[in-house]
Amino acid sequence: MAFQIPDLAVTESDRLSFSVFAPQDAPRLAGLHSDPEGERYLFRDGMVWSEAYAASEIAKWRQTFAERGYSKFKLTRKSDGAFLGRAGFGFDETYGVAELGYTIARAEWGKGYATEAAARLARWFFEEDLDDRFIAFAVPENAASVAVPRKIGMREIAPLTVKGIVCASFEMGVERG
């Protein structure tokens, strides 16, 4: 099934808006992934994103949305439109399932945005009937990121190895009747 990429928000929560990244968002995305402190748990070996790399990721995410109906979404604050980061789903080829992820700009850490985003996206994923389950994982040393799946009710599963790192891993599913 092909999905149409919407011009407006895909979904919203109380404070957040989620939309498909557009090609012109590459500079913002590159900026998000240029903070070494924010990148240290993201399996990139210190790689800072260029605008060209960000544009290539946006193209992949747009393709994922067109094919699967989900993506890594641009996360903005509803009250003022400020760019906060990204949150959404990618398809994990290794495990053959959607994977929930989030990256919040460091200036916005500690405000509950990751938990609010993850909770809304989990509900949205099942409301849209995109699949029966999804996973999430985080480097164990990143306590804040590990806490998010727990807070939204994901079930801890056996650790998964991601790019050679053993990660705290979680899943959420829906029961079909």
Domain assignment of residue 160, yes or no: no
Domain annotation covers residue 4: no
- Taking alpha carbons only, the member of 28, 89, 82 closest to residue 61 is 89
Phi, psi of 26 (to 5 degrees): -55, -45
Q: Distance of CA 174 to CAs 77, 101, 131, 132, 158, Å?
A: 29, 19, 9, 5, 19
Closest of 57, 54, 60, 65 to residue 5, by C-alpha:
65
Residue 1 maps to a domain? no
Residue 168 resides in a domain: no
pLDDT at position 49, please?
A: 84
Helical residues (DSSP H) of the chain, grouped into ranges: 26-32, 36-39, 51-68, 113-127, 143-151
Asked, for residue 27, whether it belongs to a domain, the answer is: yes
Which of these ranges, 5-9, 60-64, 97-101, has the smallest mean pLDDT? 5-9
Q: Torsion-angle region of residue 96: left (phi > 0), alpha (psi -120 to 50) or beta?
A: left
pLDDT, tens only, 20-73: 999 999 999 999 988 766 555 554 455 778 899 999 999 999 999 999 999 999
**Domain encompassing residue 86:** 11-132
Could you tell me the end-to-end alpha-carbon distance of the chain, in angstroms, rounded to an integer? Answer: 23
Domain-embedded: residue 165: no
pLDDT digits (tens, 9 = 90+) for 116-136: 999 999 999 999 999 999 999
Residue 117 lies inside a defined structural domain of this protein: yes
- Residue, of 97 and 47, whose pLDDT is higher: 97
Q: Is residue 123 part of a domain?
A: yes
Q: What is the CATH number of the domain that holds 48?
A: 3.40.630.30
- Its pTM stands at 0.91
Q: Which has the higher per-residue pLDDT, 34 or 138? A: 138
